[in-house]
A and B are shown apart, each in its own frame.
Chain A
Amino acid sequence: MNKKTIMTEQIMEQARTWYVRMGSELAGADDWALFTDWLEESPLHVDAYDQVELSLSAITAPALDQEPALVQENAVQENTVQENTVQERADNVVPLFTKPNNIPENKSPDQSVADKKRPKIVWARYAGIAALFVAALTVFYSSNFSSQPRLQTYATNIGGQEAIVLEDGTRINLNTNTQISVAMTKKSRIVTLASGEAFFDIAKDKKRPFIVNAKDVRITDIGTSFSVYSTDTALTVSVVDGIVDMQNGDQTTRVIKGQQAVHNRGDNNIALRAIDVENISTWRDGVLIFEDAELATIIPELNRYFETQISFSDEDVADLTFSGVLNISDQSMMLGSMEALMPIKAERENGQILLSSKN
């Protein structure tokens, strides 16, 4: 209760003002960043905001309850007002809003960022995210406010690779056609792998865990180097050194040095198998190493690196196996090696490359 005695009316007033401001459908990321600043300033601010939200929870509470049936059965009959509230909110936790026009001129504790018209600009930027997938290495900031942790996005195009060194000394190699975003905060280091493949060599920092988010899996590093490859159908994590934890819903799978974990999308299981650490992420050196691999599995892998796609003309070619090293920095050279090592020939046809049996 000590908290309450030093909780000033001024702070409560600020909390109410923030509550009204953040309750608006027009509040954007900038407003939420400023609000976060305010929350971070003092535990009293969070206490005050708790009080405001909880004092109104008679209204917002049923909406957010995980047991809507219980609430509805008991509360609905005698109170039509609540029935409406329960029904509406339960169906649609965040109400739908119509087009923003003007930003409310609430007096804001700090400043009125809200005066900007932001929606159009914001949308334009999001539309651009798709373009980033094929763009060359790009960096942008999510916000103009220095107080917000900077979010940096890096992307490579098909055939491209990039090496990034973060402020903490962590090294990240991006493979072909990859997009990641990086957020460094006081408490954590978070990378989101939106698509593609990246190799991480993490600088140790016990105070700031390193987390890689890929689709619905969270990978937590325990001082290590590993690669993450994300496709529409699967997520593959290969550990070169140390240990990582993969968290998928409630399930956590520990992956150690020399192991590869494969998580197929739509399947909760994570399968582990042993791999040779020497063969992990050799793309960083411009080569891929295969051991007794069928062309049917090799070709899609090679096609990640080149605009000109390779296909094969018959099943005999698909069944051929290959062991060796292929150079992925030059497609013609790569095809030359393949022709020399296997009974196949490569021909360019309609902007494609067709592999067929030599005989």
Chain B
Amino acid sequence: MPNTQRDILTAVYLEQRPALLRFLCARLRNPERAEDVLQDVYLKLTRTNLPPLIDNPSGFLFRMASNLALDHIRKGKRARLRDQAWSDLNSEKSGSQFRADIPHADDALIAKERLAALNTRLQTLSPKAREAFKRHKFEGQSYKQVADEMGISIGTVGKHLGKAIKHIMDADLGDKNYG
């Protein structure tokens, strides 16, 4: 039966749906958006290609929900920043060329700049933590893979990642882009 993987995930989805919804309500602070994101999870689940092997189906669904929720949060934030830029522009009749460009700012360029800044910050991190972070975040390795390849325990992987994230966020301190 070729659909077994999808069938199992769908069954797990049905079972976990209330818990997923509760998580999304808490994460997004908005029941309607939570329902929307949950709908997206279902569509993804039923209509996209799934990995051939999923060992932890409920975890898989929650991670999918979490990622889609973040997407929503980021979109909302971008829209707010654009609105802000527009209103700044309009209140200041003679906007400079640079400012006039802001509403059309290319998100990809911003992302690239942020990534470059991130790379710089990572240089001042301890080598082990940097390696664990890069393997997981850039190469998409699982905690288990990182642990195996670095010859450390999964718990230590978690500690390295925690350290890396703190390091990045400390460098962000005072940066008004977040929060």
Contact = CB atoms under 8 A, between A and B. Distances in A.
Contacts of A143: 19
Contacts of B154: 24, 26, 101-105
A17 interface: yes
Interface of A: 3-4, 12-13, 16-17, 19-29, 31-33, 35-36, 39-40, 43, 46-47, 49-67, 70-75, 78-79, 81-82, 84-85, 88-89, 92-106, 119, 122, 126, 129-130, 142-143, 148-149, 151, 153, 181, 183, 185, 187-188, 190, 192, 194, 213, 216, 218
B55 A181 contact: no
A185 B111 contact: no
A39 B31 contact: no
A181 B15 contact: yes
A58 B74 CA distance: 11
A79 B113 CA distance: 10
Contact of A46 (B26, B42, B108): B26
Interface in B68-95: 68, 70-71, 73-75, 77
Contacts of B139: 84, 88
A266 to B, nearest CB: 12
Contact of B155 (A92, A105, A181, A213): A105
Contacts of A185: 18, 21-22
A74 B112 contact: yes
A74 B105 CA distance: 12
Interface residues of B, number: 82
26 contacts: A4-B179, A13-B166, A16-B169, A27-B56, A28-B59, A39-B23, A43-B29, A58-B117, A59-B137, A60-B70, A61-B74, A64-B71, A67-B107, A71-B107, A71-B108, A81-B119, A85-B138, A95-B142, A99-B55, A104-B157, A106-B158, A119-B55, A126-B12, A181-B14, A192-B14, A218-B39
Interface of B: 8, 11-12, 14-19, 21-23, 25-27, 29, 31, 35, 39, 42-44, 46, 51-60, 62-64, 66-68, 70-71, 73-75, 77, 106-109, 111-112, 114-119, 136-140, 142-145, 153-155, 157-159, 161-162, 165-166, 168-169, 172, 177-179
A100 B25 contact: no
Contact of A25 (B25, B39, B143, B159): B143
A299 to B, nearest CB: 29
Given A25-B143, A25-B144, A53-B73, A93 B137 contact: no
Contacts of A65: 71, 107
Contact of A56 (B14, B54, B168): B168
A56 B8 contact: no
A62 B116 CA distance: 14
Contacts of B111: 58, 61-62, 71, 75, 82
B137 to A, nearest CB: 5
A45 to B, nearest CB: 9
Given A55-B165, A85-B137, 9 more contacts: A12-B169, A36-B22, A39-B27, A54-B73, A97-B145, A100-B56, A181-B14, A187-B31, A188-B21
Contacts of A31: 59
Nearest to A91: B49
A181 B19 CA distance: 12
A64 B17 CA distance: 22
A70 B112 CA distance: 12
B169 A100 contact: no
B165 A56 contact: yes
The interface centre, meaning the residue of A29, A72, A75 with most chain B CB atoms within 10 A of its CB, is: A29
Given A16-B166, A104-B158, A188 B31 contact: yes
A32 B23 contact: yes
A126 B112 contact: no
A95 B177 CA distance: 27
